Amino acid sequence: MKRKGTEEFKTLAIVGKFGVGKTTLCQEVFNDKDVKEAYLPRIWVSMYSKETKDAKVAVLKKMLRSLGVEDEKLDDIKTEAEEEKRSKDEAGKTDEETVEEKELFKLLHALNSNLFGKKYLVVLDNVWEDNEWNQRLDGEKTEYEKTHLSCGFPKGYGGRVIVTSRDEGLAKKIVGEEENVQRLFPRTDVESVWEIYKDAFGKPMKDAAGELIKVEKIVRNEDGTTQTKWVVNPRYPGRYKKELMDKSGGVPWAARMLATSEPLKNDEDKDL
């Protein structure tokens, strides 16, 4: 990701079960200092949408808005598509393209124009089949496939697209080669899950007697800034950690939720 020399367009899919850390990993890459210097523009798209129709169009509009395209221009594109269709129908000309297909083509063209000549980074976070993003993005377009999603991404300038999904089969449709798929699994390292759990605390915790079992600690970061963290001190850390792994299954999201909802309890650990 950080190499500045290559001009080849590349795609990468990060797949794994819910809560395993796909989005977190992408955020770390997306916000990395070297990545920021190497890629411009950088576009983050949450694939969740309330749209039940024209899912591809909805995602493309999100991308174009991120690039500074105003809603008025997006409305104009739809109007142009409608007028083009109506004009051909009135003239009695054969036009098998729907208004939606015409709008999709124009949006893909607009996206390509805005990214052309740039070393861009696009993250499509949490792709589902319902999003209708199921075409290989590094595929070669043809004049008969002008609404193919790959048409929106200029090739030859070092652009990158990262996709996250729980659906490995769908991810492979988008990125193609097996070597472009990165799988994330639940953690088996107890200590790393324990660190996630501790860092997720947001307020002091007290035991049944009202005594704090969590104390505040000021941590200095590498850049010189400081942040507040909490140190959890259970009487029997081994049992505490085992229960944490049993309940979270090694999934980072589950460990964070356990920390913010209620502390894990052990019958033999009176501090908890």
pTM above 0.85, yes or no: no
Lowest mean pLDDT among 46-50, 96-100, 202-206: 202-206
The pLDDT value given to residue 267 = 43
Mean pLDDT, residues 105-110: 95
The pLDDT value given to residue 271 = 41
Residue 2 and residue 32 in contact, taking contact as beta carbons nearer than 8 Å: yes
Higher pLDDT, 36 or 214: 36
CB-side neighbour CA atoms (13 Å) of 19: 15
CA 42 – CA 25 distance, rounded (Å): 16
The pLDDT value given to residue 263 = 54
Residue 132's SS3 state is: coil
How many CB atoms sit inside 10 A of residue 46's CB?
12
Percent of the chain past pLDDT 70, that is, above it, reads 79
Higher pLDDT, 141 or 124: 124
Please write the tens of the pLDDT for every residue from 219-243: 567 777 766 555 566 667 788 888 8
How many CB atoms sit inside 10 A of residue 9's CB?
19
How many CB atoms sit inside 10 A of residue 145's CB?
13
DSSP string computed for 214-261? EEEEEEE-TTS-EEEEEEE--S-HHHHHHHHHHHHTT-HHHHHHHHHH
The pLDDT value given to residue 159 = 95
pLDDT, the chain, mean? 82
Please write the tens of the pLDDT for every residue from 113-136: 999 999 999 999 999 887 778 888
The pLDDT value given to residue 241 = 85
pLDDT exceeds cutoff 80 at 95: no
Mean pLDDT, residues 143-163: 87
Which range is most confident: 89-93, 127-131, 178-182, 218-222? 178-182
pLDDT exceeds cutoff 70 at 25: yes
Sorted by where each starts, the structural domains of the chain and their CATH numbers stand as: 10-183 (3.40.50), 190-261 (no CATH)
The pLDDT value given to residue 234 = 67
CA 16 – CA 124 distance, rounded (Å): 15
- Count the residues in the chain: 272
Question: By C-alpha distance, which of 198, 199, 196 is closest to 251?
Answer: 196
Residue 103 token pair: 């709008």
